[in-house]
A and B are shown apart, each in its own frame.
Chain A
Amino acid sequence: MAELEKVGIPTVSLVARDFVKDWQHSAPVFGVKGLARVVMPRPLVGMHADDVYPLADAAFEELVTMLTESAVTQEVADDETVQAGVIAIEADGEYAALRRMNRMFLDQGWGDGFPLWAPTPEQVDEMLSGTRRARDEVVTVLAPGKGQATVEKIAINAVMAGCQPEHLPLLLAAVEAMSDPQFMMRMCAMSTGAHAPMMIVNGPIAKRLGINSGRCALGPGAPSAVNTVLGRAIRLIMMNVGHTYPGTMDMDTLGSPNKYSMCLAENEEASPWEPYHVEKGFERNANVVTMCHTYAITEVEDGTGTTPEAVLNVACSTASNLGVYSVGWWLMGRTADPEADASALEKQFLIVCPVHAEVFRKYGWSKQDVRDYLYKHARVPFAHLMANKEAECFNASHPHLRWLWGSPDTLMPVLETADCFELVVAGGLGGARSTYSYGVCEPVSRLIEQ
């Protein structure tokens, strides 16, 4: 709508009440002062057409007014975010000051709900000692809010999260990865789904920094303390640098604990295969961070299966969960950002536990063997896959597959290609519990500054 207004085409949109704030904040981000809208009492998703029609009837008069009256009066007030570079907090004592800072930051929406470390100038200077990059260097303009991600702003949020200076290069690389068009940050950050960024670390840096790749790698607890603060920093950066605030741009329906922090290192010693980053073309000794989105993770438990097929049959069942948006989503067409000339496959991760990795090692299965098996066997009848998907979208995206409407029992792969199944090894020895991460779009990997 913003782009159309800019070229002189008047628009008006039907916007659900709960999305008005997001609507108002998005307009200036996308280059217009305000956008005409008619407020609907509720979202239209999940409504039968017969129930939508009365709402459209009720909105019609105002809609006509919005298209024909003089200038749009729903212009957004300027964002009054505190612009001061340095914020002074007065209190009786250090602890009181810290509490007041936390209260203030929460009131502004700048925190994740957990207590924050104070980003004093001294702490930020110390954080910046972890990189050779200049503090005012703009690493990227971070979607969706198009905030200038300077090294300093990233460092400030890293301090707040509890990170140390040696973590900063990893975070800088992670932010670069998240700004890659392939990552589709804007779509995922603004979604009504629970997209959470997951960080996967490869290379010697993992051990050097103490990033857990084994038991409880995804937390909680002391063994994954570094994992926790790294993942937390990513969330704070998304909020304060990318302006992805709950209810304003982040329109997640319920939220997810995954969004607080998700970070793990690959358990390269336990893997029967080349490490993930080597598979992606990096040198074995390179330090690499991979960022990916995840809707949710779930267990792939199989303590009785002793063959690759037995283990993967359980994984296939897990991968076929229709409740997850990205399962079968490829039938709707690829997520795309044509301006950036980018389109993304829907990729998902099987995080293989060491016990299951050993099964693959014993039988000599390669990563491709695993992928091929998952692609061949994680299949759902077409009619079931389409049960929660828009038929018109499928017809527009895959006109050559319309014959499937006449053969609804045809088994369809849950992901578009075998290569959409990504594999890493992580976790502790003992539990026969791999983990399946329902991903969105594609993971992006970046070298970490040495």
Chain B
Amino acid sequence: MRLQVLNPVAQKAEKKKGARSAPRLPTLEGKRIGLYWNLKPGGDAALRRTGELLAARYAGVETKIYMGSVGSSNRFATREDVQRISREVSAVIGATAD
């Protein structure tokens, strides 16, 4: 016999495939890199160490920590947060600790 059933899965609201990733940087020298931590324990240590490694390898590189006020595991970043970060840094490294 043939049993016909309806698909229970909802269509996604966004039909378009999504934006392409941003272009990569030609170099990290002289750049300001954001280190984004969502306040989950462990992520800060990874970012701290990464910041040290960047400073040791690349001349003129700076890092800026973002946490809490621009989003965390229990608070999403706003459009204004994103715009401000994009004005302040050239790239972002993130760690959620999971």
Contact = CB atoms under 8 A, between A and B. Distances in A.
Interface size class of A (residues with CB under 8 A): 35 or more
A63 B74 contact: no
Given A68-B26, A98-B3, A335-B74, A57 B13 contact: no
Interface string B31-61: 0011010011111111111100100010000
Interface stretch (A26-34, A223-231, A286-294, A307-315): A26-34
A75 B19 CA distance: 11
B21 A72 contact: yes
Contacts of B49: 52-53, 56-57
A28 B9 contact: no
Contact of A32 (B8, B19, B45, B92): B19
Interface string A1-35: 10111111111111110110000000111011111
Given A11-B94, A36-B21, A396-B69, A147 B13 contact: yes
A110 interface: yes
Contact of A124 (B6, B13, B90, B96): B6
A12 B25 CA distance: 12
Q: Point out which of B43, B44, B45, B85 has the most chain A C-beta atoms below 10 A from its C-beta.
A: B45
B23 to A, nearest CB: 7
Interface string A25-65: 00111011111100010011111010011011101100110
Nearest to B83: A7
Interface in A132-173: 141-142, 145-150, 152-153, 156-157, 160
A135 B57 CA distance: 60
B24 A10 contact: yes
A141 B97 CA distance: 29
B5 A392 contact: no
Contact of A147 (B9, B25, B86): B9
A68 B27 contact: yes
Given A3-B82, A9-B89, A44-B95, A157 B28 contact: no
A9 B86 contact: yes
Contacts of A6: 19, 22
Interface residues of B, number: 69
B4 to A, nearest CB: 5
Nearest to B82: A3
A187 B74 CA distance: 7
B75 A13 contact: no
A150 B10 contact: yes
A55 B46 contact: yes
A56 B50 contact: yes
Contacts of B90: 9-10
Nearest to B51: A56
Given A47-B42, A141-B13, 14 more contacts: A5-B21, A5-B22, A7-B22, A9-B90, A64-B57, A71-B21, A71-B23, A78-B17, A87-B6, A147-B9, A242-B10, A334-B74, A337-B76, A338-B78
Interface of A: 1, 3-16, 18-19, 27-29, 31-36, 40, 43-47, 49, 52-53, 55-57, 59-60, 63-64, 66-72, 75, 78-79, 81-94, 97-98, 100-101, 105, 108, 110, 118-121, 124, 141-142, 145-150, 152-153, 156-157, 160, 186-187, 192, 236, 240-243, 251, 329, 332-339, 390, 392-393, 396-397
